[in-house]
Structure 1
């Protein structure tokens, strides 16, 4: 019984300083947020950049707490730090427009009045074939029926149809 209790205590024993764990988590969070901010929007897929970052880092911290860290407590400290950072940045971006601009992409116009904006499409590595596929999914036969199309912050493409579409 004593051996079992000693083994359980080892699961929660801290080997890394709390401040080091918090600093590591913070540096990774901010660093990955910056890297995700400079890649094309569509790279993240269905998730917004903040959500993708949060999920990736929580998964990474969980993995470490299951094996590489020697303690479950260390894993929970990293996860708590990541959750606090994620909440804080979401709160700040809601309250302050400049923070929102730092962490979120503005919509990028790729079609205007039925004309493809090739320069903006190139920024997102969006080919004409991919754009046409998205049009078909929306039930739009031709780009001339589109008043505007935007690549949104989460990578989705939204369309506003012209009024004279039949």
Structure 2
């Protein structure tokens, strides 16, 4: 019968100081955002850096609310803090271009007028074979057909052909 007895007060009681929970979430969010800004943009896969960070932290906070924290409420406090931070950072980056530059990568030119920009490719660890694979996926057979190619903030590569059909 003890298995069916649930003490709801203990389940939702906050045991750690509220300010500590919020400060931990803020520090973790900003710390991981800074670290992700250092790694090449193609590391994040198909998600933009902010999206990847947000999903990672929400899942981590949810995991802790199931067992790492003492109560479900503590997990909700951290998740709510992360939601608020994500909203504030996205809002600030919309209204203030300087914030956008801090949290997002600008497009990086890797092909200009049919010529590979190897220095920029090296910054993203993009090999010529990988670039050619992306070209083929876009139906472009020859690099000389490309006016420009950029590695975008989310890691995708966009192409503009010389004849303007892409």
Q: Normalising to structure 1: TM-score of the pair?
A: 0.95
Please identify runs of 4+ aligned residues in structure 1 that moved more than 2 A: 1-5
1:4 corresponding residue in structure 2: 5
Shift in Å at residue 58 of structure 1? 0.1
Query: Residues of 2 paired with 1:142 and 1:85: CA distance?
Result: 45
The CA deviation string for residues 50-108 of structure 1, in whole angstroms up to 9 with x for no partner, is 00000000000000000110100000000000000000000000000100000000000
Instruction: Give runs of aligned pairs for residues 126-141 of structure 1, distance below 5 A.
Output: 126-141=126-141
Q: What are structure 1's unaligned runs of at least 5 residues?
A: none
**Secondary structure of the corresponding residue to residue 14 of structure 1:** coil
1:84 corresponding residue in structure 2: 84
Query: Residues of 2 paired with 1:133 and 1:57: CA distance?
Result: 33
The CA deviation string for residues 35-56 of structure 1, in whole angstroms up to 9 with x for no partner, is 0001000000001100000000
1:145–1:164 CA contact under 8 A, matched in 2: no
2:118 corresponding residue in structure 1: 118
Instruction: Give runs of aligned pairs for residues 1-166 of structure 1, distance below 5 A.
Output: 4-5=5-6, 7-163=7-163
Q: Normalising to structure 2: TM-score of the pair?
A: 0.95
Shift in Å at residue 164 of structure 1? 8.3
